[in-house]
Amino acid sequence: MPLRLLLLWAALFLTVQAHALTAEEARALALGETDTRVEALNKAAVSADDKTVAFIQALSDDAVKTSGSQVFIVKDDKAFDPVTGAEKPLPADAEDVINPNLMRSELDNALAALKLLSGDAKLRAEAIKTLAGESDEARLPLIEKAWAAETVPALKSQLELMRAAILLGSSDKAKRLEAAALLSASKNPATKTVLIERLSSEPDADVKVALKAALAKVESSLVWGDRLGAIFSGISLGSILLLVALGLAITYGLMGVINMAHGELMMIGAYATYVVQGLFQKYLPSAFDWYLLAAVPVAFMASALVGAALERGVIRFLYGRPLETLLATWGISLMLQQAVRSIFGAQNVGVENPVWMSGGVQVLGNLSLPYNRLVIIGFAVAVLLGMAFLISKTRLGLFVRGVTQNRPIASCMGVNTARIDTYAFALGSGIAGLAGCALSQVGNVGPDLGQGYIVDAFMVVVLGGVGQLAGTVYAALGLGILNKFLEGWVGAVLAKIAVLVFIIVFIQKRPQGIFAMKGRSAEA
Amino acid sequence: MTTPTLTTPQSLAGSPAAPAVSASVALPVKGPLLTRTGWSAFVVALIVVCAIAPALNLWVPESSALHMSTYAVALLGKIMCYAIAALAMDLIWGYTGILSLGHGVFFALGGYVMGMYLMRQIGLEGNYKSNLPDFMVFLDWKTLPWHWTFSDSFAATLFLIVAVPAVVAFVFGYFAFRSRIKGVYFSIITQAMTFAAMLLFFRNETGFGGNNGFTDFKRILDIPIATPSMRMTLFVMTGLTLLGFFLFAKWLVGSKFGRVLQAIRDAETRVMFSGYSPLGYKLTIWVISAVMCAVAGALYVPQVGIINPGEMSPANSIEIAIWAAVGGRASLIGPIVGAFIVNGAKSWLTVAYPEFWLYFLGALFIGVTLFLPNGVVGLVKKLRKGAEQ
């Protein structure tokens, strides 16, 4: 195969003139023995034009049918002539073209090689991905050519890495040394793997030393990226926990209501986002990128309304009976989950990132910050500030604080305490809805979305101290970062267990959380 | 928790009008363990479990209308295990006012200890014909992990069924009660405990079969496990355990110990100011309750034929609480009745109307807490009182 590929690529470079696909070529590619087809493929790829590329692509997608000596590309149940592109009726006896594994890999390689020189940066990126991880020396000229022509810096560095990785596998010692020197300047985490792999199979002592030196250099330039990456994902998780816990800080922290359906209120927010997305797709496809902005208030209102209904219908009869509240709200959560299953089905639904939230900024070679995470961190900060303002500066906030601190006196002052309870609970629920809206951008949206977060959310509130906004913030960020650091160290599940154990132990020492309210109650 | 707890010392000091406590307070006369009707009902239950059910299942021919099917034996046996768990929950929640959302852990621990023994009993008949349980062969383990050391001995298994959950409950309870974590805090921490335990047991490295847990049991005490007579034996054992625990609980709550528990439930601060340290009482009943739950789990596994970490999910633990609540807390017959009602409804609804089961369960949680604070038993009592008047 290497020889054949070499020939193919050599031919590729020599022939600049593209020539159009002919009917004979199409037949040769689709029919006959595998060997002859591969040969035809190599010939065709040398001077491929768009039609040939499309045909090879169709072959690789299993979208080609043959009938007698006629060849068709089948697309959406319609058959087209590969040469002219005109639609043709598909004969009833048309058969699929069967591609054996050999043919398939040849097709992939031919496509990738063709794409590597394509004018479209996206196609080139794809091709690099396909070809990466193989260190066939026959590829070298092609990659060098592509590297010289490449203009996008990210792709160029990838090609360089590929080139060095191939050189690293060379039988020539000087070339291997050169490659090690080249790679030592790399700031790409993939380089590390390449170097480690080669180190384990390297026979020559000199090269080994060079490889080790390169590895140490790469590692040292990666270490900061790793650290910052862990901190960033910690902050990101913390911001999500914060969003999830902020609503609870009101309903549980201030009002003392154990709301086990909090997770389901988040779920409602996420499904509201899904519905808004659907409406935009249907009625406002031109403004689709901005659906998320519309979804934020809708998610808030949907959850707030459900929350208000819950407070009026169930929770208000259980004030002062926390354990009963816990059970009743658990029942509510079961019913809400089942309701969502009945309406939207038991499967997860798809919520897409708007274009402006996909992608990210590349800060260091091994540290990129995804936009959706950044947006959520900003969103969490905004919700936090908004809530702090609402509670400490507005009339409603004053009433809420008054009622939760001393209900009879607030009532004597003419505050309608029952109504304030409803408002406060609706506010907490609405913030849960906002959290759900944010979660829909980073995770799956399904009926059990809330279940995964409810234990975490309570932990944050309990750890932060009941009735303490600041405590909630510190606890959320602290738990987020702690969790991510442990994750890098012992793995996700053990990290989670360790955090839970940590909280259980912590509560022993400070039963009232980090920021305990000072008091002299015997119950403390 | 039917009476509101007095929370501040001021409210105690603020009642000077209370009569001075005389030196010779007559303790209430201790009633008999069960009333006359109570004993007759108990004996009837005993006869049903030990004689009538086996007779109907094993000796009445299948064609007869009176025949008790294997399905019914399995179902009732399973529900009786649940009833034991509900009884355990009632002791800690109904009588001591501590709502545990982590009893599923103890249930599962008992089940896992039993499951380990049953896995060893499979012997060489596993898919891989190895001395090790199948999942270990699959993970390419060569020897048994240390915690499987005693799993081939039935006597050790019986001991560990009690000891493992007792130790776990003691350690957890000691730290929790010592720092006076109570109320909802305690509930949430227990929920975190069961969640953490579930995650731990899901892992293959823990050595408990990971996701799949233990299943495909073949024998118990070298006797094939799936025969009708073995099923019936397990059924009778479960029934006897339930009745035994019921008597034990009845005795316990009537004793001085039980009265202190109820005092802790109603006004813990007062109990402390009366010179009792609640720690020992709470810890004792917590461990007793955990062990009862574990025994239920150990009886459950051979009858159901599987144990996996799903038993530790927070939802399962909270369901135990709803059995007790539906039947009626702070009465001992209540949780048993509740377990039968809820699980009976579950096994019918999940087959007939699977989509309605969660609505029903959710409505049950809400309805019972809003309208039936004393459960079905409380409702019956109330109706009877109304009829008498």
Long-range contacts of B8-16 (CB under 8 A, 24+ apart): B8/A521, B8/A522, B8/A523, B9/A521, B9/A522, B9/B269, B12/B269, B12/B270, B12/B273
* Helix axes B314-327 and B70-89, enclosed angle (nearest 10): 90
Rounded Cα distance between A409 and A310, Å, is 26
A455–B370 C-beta distance less than 8 A: no
Residue from the list A322, A325, A500 with its beta carbon closest to the beta carbon of B196: A500
The 3-state DSSP class for residue A71 equals strand
Amino acid identity of A158?
Q
A342–B355 C-beta distance less than 8 A: yes
Distance from CA of A522 to the nearest CA of B (A): 7
Whether A303 shows a pLDDT value over 90: the answer reads yes
A496–B365 C-beta distance less than 8 A: no
Chain B residue with the nearest C-alpha to that of A465: B185
A338–B1 C-beta distance less than 8 A: no
Q: What is the pLDDT along chain B (389 residues), one digit of tens a residue?
A: 444 444 444 444 444 444 444 455 666 677 778 888 888 888 999 888 888 888 888 888 878 878 888 888 999 999 999 999 999 999 999 999 999 999 999 999 999 999 999 998 888 888 778 878 888 888 888 888 888 888 888 999 999 999 999 999 999 999 888 877 778 888 888 988 898 899 889 988 888 888 888 988 888 888 888 888 898 999 999 999 999 999 999 999 999 999 999 999 999 999 999 999 999 999 999 999 999 999 999 999 999 999 999 999 988 999 999 999 999 988 899 999 999 999 999 999 988 888 889 899 999 999 998 998 888 998 998 899 988 88
Q: Is the pTM of this model over 0.90?
A: no
In terms of DSSP bridges, do strands A78-80 and A70-75 run parallel, antiparallel, or are they unpaired?
A: antiparallel
Task: Give pLDDT, residue B167.
Answer: 96
Residues A430-434, mean pLDDT to the nearest whole number: 94
Q: What percent of chain A has pLDDT over 70?
A: 88
| DSSP 8-state secondary structure symbol assigned to residue B91 | I
Rounded Cα distance between A330 and B319, Å, is 10
A258–B1 C-beta distance less than 8 A: no
Take residue A509 and report the two structure tokens written for it.
Answer: 């020492």
Whether A454 shows a pLDDT value over 90: the answer reads no
Q: Which residues of B touch A317 (CB under 8 A)?
A: 370
Highest averaged pLDDT of the listed ranges A246-255, A280-289, B306-315 = B306-315
Residue B27 belongs to a domain = no
Whether A186 shows a pLDDT value over 80: the answer reads no
- ipTM, two decimals: 0.82
Task: Give pLDDT, residue B8.
Answer: 41
For residues B218-257, one letter each, b for 16 or more C-beta atoms within 10 angstroms of the residue's C-beta and e for the rest, the string is ebbeeeebeeeebbbebbbbbbebbbebbeebbebbeeee
Higher pLDDT, A325 or A500: A325
Whether A31 shows a pLDDT value over 70: the answer reads yes
**Residue B219 forms beta bridges with which residues?**
B224
Task: Give pLDDT, residue B136.
Answer: 85
**Residue A70 forms beta bridges with which residues?**
A67
Task: Give pLDDT, residue B18.
Answer: 44
Residues whose CB is less than 8 angstroms from the CB of residue A385 and which lie 6 or more positions away in sequence, other chains included: none
Residue B48 belongs to a domain = no
Task: Give pLDDT, residue B17.
Answer: 44
Least confident of A176-190, A216-230, B43-57, B233-247: A176-190
Amino acid identity of B167?
V
Task: Give pLDDT, residue A16.
Answer: 44
Q: Which residues of A touch B188 (CB under 8 A)?
A: 258, 458-459, 462
CA distances from A16 to A19, A302, A519, B333 (A): 9, 61, 85, 91
Task: Give pLDDT, residue A8.
Answer: 55
Residue A144 and residue A163 in contact, taking contact as beta carbons nearer than 8 Å: yes
Q: Which residues of A touch B176 (CB under 8 A)?
A: 508
Residue B184 belongs to a domain = yes
**Residue A364 forms beta bridges with which residues?**
A367
**Residue B215 forms beta bridges with which residues?**
B306
Whether A148 shows a pLDDT value over 50: the answer reads yes
Whether A190 shows a pLDDT value over 90: the answer reads no
Residues whose CB is less than 8 angstroms from the CB of residue A210 and which lie 6 or more positions away in sequence, other chains included: A176, A177, A180, A181
The residue written with tokens 């309208």 in the block is B371
Whether A467 shows a pLDDT value over 90: the answer reads no
The residue written with tokens 């001075």 in the block is B20
Residue B259 belongs to a domain = yes
Rounded Cα distance between A122 and B240, Å, is 72
Whether A352 shows a pLDDT value over 70: the answer reads yes
Take residue B83 and report the two structure tokens written for it.
Answer: 């009833």
**Residue B220 forms beta bridges with which residues?**
B223
Which of B277, B356, B358 to substitute to test the interface with A, most A CBs within 10 Å?
B358
Task: Give pLDDT, residue B338.
Answer: 94
Task: Give pLDDT, residue B4.
Answer: 46
Residue A217 and residue A184 in contact, taking contact as beta carbons nearer than 8 Å: yes
Least confident of A125-129, A445-449, B294-298: A125-129
Task: Give pLDDT, residue A46.
Answer: 60
Rounded Cα distance between A417 and A319, Å, is 13
Q: Which residues of A touch B363 (CB under 8 A)?
A: 331, 335
Task: Give pLDDT, residue A403.
Answer: 87
Long-range contacts of B377-384 (CB under 8 A, 24+ apart): B377/B327, B377/B328, B377/B331, B377/B333, B377/B334, B377/B337, B378/B328, B378/B331, B378/B334, B379/B328
Per-domain residue ranges of chain A: 2-116, 228-509
* Residue in A257, A262, A266 with CA at minimum distance from that of residue A455: A262
Higher pLDDT, A241 or B335: B335
Rounded Cα distance between A330 and B187, Å, is 13
Residue B53 belongs to a domain = no
Task: Give pLDDT, residue B6.
Answer: 40
CB-facing half-sphere around the CA of B328: CA atoms within 13 A = 14
Residue from the list A331, A341, A503 with its beta carbon closest to the beta carbon of B365: A331
Take residue B100 and report the two structure tokens written for it.
Answer: 């545990």
Residue from the list B4, B93, B318 with its beta carbon closest to the beta carbon of A330: B318
Interface of A with B in 314-343 (CB under 8 A): 314, 317-318, 320-328, 330-335, 337-339, 341-342
- CATH class of domain segment(s) A228-509: mainly alpha
Take residue A58 and report the two structure tokens written for it.
Answer: 């169709």
Residues A479-505, mean pLDDT to the nearest whole number: 81
Task: Give pLDDT, residue A132.
Answer: 65
Residue B220 phi, psi dihedral angles, 5° rounding: -135, 130
Task: Give pLDDT, residue A516.
Answer: 58
Chain B residue with the nearest C-alpha to that of A320: B4
* Residue in B334, B343, B340 with CA at minimum distance from that of residue B316: B343
Whether A524 shows a pLDDT value over 70: the answer reads no
Take residue A172 and report the two structure tokens written for it.
Answer: 């020539």
Task: Give pLDDT, residue B178.
Answer: 84
Task: Give pLDDT, residue A488.
Answer: 76
Take residue A322 and report the two structure tokens written for it.
Answer: 């926390």
Residue B238 and residue B152 in contact, taking contact as beta carbons nearer than 8 Å: no
> Total domain count for chain B?
1
* Residue in B174, B42, B161 with CA at minimum distance from that of residue B111: B161
Higher pLDDT, B232 or A38: B232
Residue B42 and residue B248 in contact, taking contact as beta carbons nearer than 8 Å: no
Take residue A9 and report the two structure tokens written for it.
Answer: 């690529």
Q: For residue B58, count CB atoms less than 10 angstroms from its CB and return exposed for 0-12, middle for 13-18, buried for 19 or more.
A: middle
Residues A449-458, mean pLDDT to the nearest whole number: 79
Residue from the list A321, A327, A524 with its beta carbon closest to the beta carbon of B322: A327
B181–A501 C-beta distance less than 8 A: no
What is the total residue count of chain B? 389
Whether A71 shows a pLDDT value over 70: the answer reads yes
Chain B residue with the nearest C-alpha to that of A333: B362
* Residue in B88, B288, B269 with CA at minimum distance from that of residue B180: B269
Distance from CA of B34 to the nearest CA of A (A): 30
In terms of DSSP bridges, do strands A87-88 and B223-224 run parallel, antiparallel, or are they unpaired?
A: unpaired
Rounded Cα distance between A242 and A238, Å, is 6
Residue B386 belongs to a domain = no
Rounded (10°) CA dihedral A370, A376, A377, A378? 110
A455–B191 C-beta distance less than 8 A: yes
**Residue A445 forms beta bridges with which residues?**
A349
Give, rounded to a whole angstrom, the gap between the first and last alpha carbons of chain A: 77
Residues whose CB is less than 8 angstroms from the CB of residue A199 and which lie 6 or more positions away in sequence, other chains included: A208, A211, A212, A215
Task: Give pLDDT, residue A449.
Answer: 86
Domain extent at residue B136: 69-315
Highest averaged pLDDT of the listed ranges A50-59, A184-193, A470-479, B201-210 = B201-210
Task: Give pLDDT, residue A214.
Answer: 80
